[in-house]
Structure formats: structure tokens, C-alpha cells
Amino acid sequence: MQSPTAIAAIAATTETAQRLQALFGAAPAVAVILGSGWGGVVDHLQDAQQLPYADLPAFEPTGVEGHRGALVVGHISGQRVALLAGRRHTYENNDCTGMAGAIRSLKAWGVQVLVQTNAAGSLRTHMPPGSLMLIADHINAPQCSPLVGEPGNARFVDMSAAYDPALRAYARTLAQTRGTPLPEGTYLWALGPQFETPAEIRMFAAWGADAVGMSTVPETILARHAGLRVLGLSLITNMAAGLSHEPLTHAATLAQAQAAGDTAAGFLAALLQSLDEGTLASMP
């Protein structure tokens, strides 16, 4: 028997999907969670319609500067997309399920692909601030899962190809065509909100991490559990602790994200305008 909390969550997801259908019509194939520095892609939308998260029962509010908390639906060069301007972070309330309702509502609405974007610190000298990184894999350093307590065998999600290989290949080809450097790497999720110590960064590098941030991994787990394909992109905003003499602050991260935001938004817009249902259907 499901708990009253689980029943209420399912009802909220169903109501949210119905509301999205009523307000926006059929779901676009692709939805994007916009992390810090990626918000400029909203400026590429035509015929944009915006709805605050507060008007969607399954969406939780955001409480971090730079995450405004709104769903925006529109077209990029004729291609329809849904943009989630902001995410709930685990460090806000020590709950890694904060994006569960939103992601499950997108799936119930009919979305097929979730593109994840974030701001991250680099552990590799070949990825300085301002670089983009294609996420090939991740490390769940806190070992927290948003699927704890989920019933049934579906909770045992295969994460061996969490970041869709065909979508990654498509992004690499697009980057090469545009002349945009796009190294692939492993993203490590650190719980935060404090930044990492130099000793922790040395340990993470030894584990094989290439970039570190405070988001994305819980949402990827949720998306794969829901049956969505996932593509991940990081905007490098700083060198990680101990790799530069610059102090790490949230304000500095936001400033660097804004400075490099045009490059990130331009690449993401080009990616989104070409990812139609026909292209997706042709991928393995």
C-alpha cells in the first residue's frame, strides 16, 4: 500500500501534467533544466509562454540566486522546447528529491529528452573557466539517491549509460561543425553548499572526476527512473579549490557564468533547434 505522501505526489504529478497539456498543448520532445550561466537561451525563444513553478503543483520552489523558478515554453528556429529556469538543490533542505515532481510531470506530459545544464568547477587545466564540458558520466560523492523508498523493481535503475551515448555523439558532431571545443568528462556531485577543500579536490581528481558541482546527479537519476533520455552539459566557471589563487564565492561563480553565458546559450540553442522528433527517432 502506498503512503499518503506518495499518493499525494502522484496526484500532484498528474494534475501538473494535465495543466501543462491544457496551457501549452502537446509536450515538446525536449526539456532543459537551466543551470547558472545558461539562462541566456531563453532570449533565443520565439512565442515564449512562461509559468511560475508556484502555479504547478508538482514543482518545488527554488531558493538560490540565479534560479528564478519558472517554466518557459517556446520555439527556437521553429523547434519547440520547454525550459526549466531553475532547479531545487539538495543543499537547500537536505532532500535530494526536490526535482522529482517536476521531472515526472515532464515525462507524464510527453517529454522524451531531458537536457541538464550546470555551472561547475574544473579539475583539469585543459578546461579553464569559460569552457564547456559534455558530461560522459558522473560520480555521486554523497551517495544520496532520490529513489530511496521507491517501491518495486523499477527503482534498480541501470546507470551504466546514464548520459545517452547517441545524444552525446550528436552534441560532439555539432560542436565540431561549429568549431566549439567540447571535451567530455566526468562530473562529480558534491552536496554543498560550502565549496570543496583542496584535499577533497585532490581526492576527487584521483577518483577520475573532471568537474565538480552541486546539482545534476539527483535529476539524472530521477530522469532515468522516469524513462527519459539525458544529455548533460557543464559550463566551467572556476578552477576547483587549490588549483588557482582565486577565492571561491557564489558571487564570483555567477559573474563568470554571466561572462561566458553567451557561448553556452549559443551552443545550447543550436543544439535544441536541431533536436526534433525525427532526429531523436533516428538515434539508437
Could you tell me the CATH number of the domain that includes residue 172? 3.40.50.1580
- How many angstroms separate the CA atoms of 71 and 24, rounded? 11
**Residue 184 near residue 133 (C-beta atoms within 8 A):** yes
How high does pLDDT run on average in the chain? 92
pTM flag (> 0.85): yes
214 labelled catalytic: yes
**Annotated catalytic residue: which of 27, 85, 102, 119?**
119
Structure confidence at residue 164 (pLDDT): 97
**Annotated catalytic residue: which of 91, 163, 170, 187?**
91
238 labelled catalytic: yes
> 3-state class of 13 per DSSP?
helix
Structure confidence at residue 107 (pLDDT): 98
Instruction: With cut-offs at 50, 70 and 90, classify the pLDDT of residue 9.
Output: confident
How many CB atoms within 10 Å of residue 65? 10
138 labelled catalytic: no
How many CB atoms within 10 Å of residue 107? 20
Structure confidence at residue 262 (pLDDT): 84
| 284 belongs to a structural domain | no
105 labelled catalytic: no
Residue 32 phi, psi (nearest 5): -130, 130
Structure confidence at residue 153 (pLDDT): 94
**Residue 191 near residue 91 (C-beta atoms within 8 A):** yes
pLDDT reading at 273 higher than 80: yes
89 labelled catalytic: yes
- How many angstroms separate the CA atoms of 237 and 166, rounded? 27
250 labelled catalytic: yes
Instruction: With cut-offs at 50, 70 and 90, classify the pLDDT of residue 91.
Output: very high
Q: Please state the separation of Cα 260 from the chain's center in Å.
A: 18
Instruction: With cut-offs at 50, 70 and 90, classify the pLDDT of residue 5.
Output: confident
Structure confidence at residue 243 (pLDDT): 87
**Annotated catalytic residue: which of 70, 175, 211, 214?**
214
**Annotated catalytic residue: which of 17, 27, 29, 89?**
89
| 177 belongs to a structural domain | yes
Tell me the three cell numbers of residue 107.
515525462
Tell me the three cell numbers of residue 95.
532532500
**Annotated catalytic residue: which of 215, 234, 241, 269?**
215
Range of the domain at 205: 4-277
> 3-state class of 233 per DSSP?
strand
Instruction: Look at strands 132-140 and 70-76 and give their pairing.
Output: unpaired
**Residue 76 near residue 44 (C-beta atoms within 8 A):** yes
Q: What is the mean pLDDT of residues 199-223?
A: 98
234 labelled catalytic: no
DSSP structure class, residue 131: -
Q: What is the mean pLDDT of residues 207-211?
A: 98
**Residue 235 near residue 229 (C-beta atoms within 8 A):** no
pLDDT reading at 29 higher than 90: yes
| 166 belongs to a structural domain | yes
91 labelled catalytic: yes
Q: Express as a percent the part of the chain with pLDDT over 90.
A: 77
| 283 belongs to a structural domain | no
The domain tally of the chain equals: 1
Q: What sign does the CA torsion over 222, 223, 227, 229 have? A: negative
- How many angstroms separate the CA atoms of 167 and 152, rounded? 29
- How many angstroms separate the CA atoms of 70 and 87, rounded? 9
- How many angstroms separate the CA atoms of 37 and 118, rounded? 8
**Annotated catalytic residue: which of 105, 145, 234, 238?**
238
**Annotated catalytic residue: which of 31, 36, 122, 209?**
36
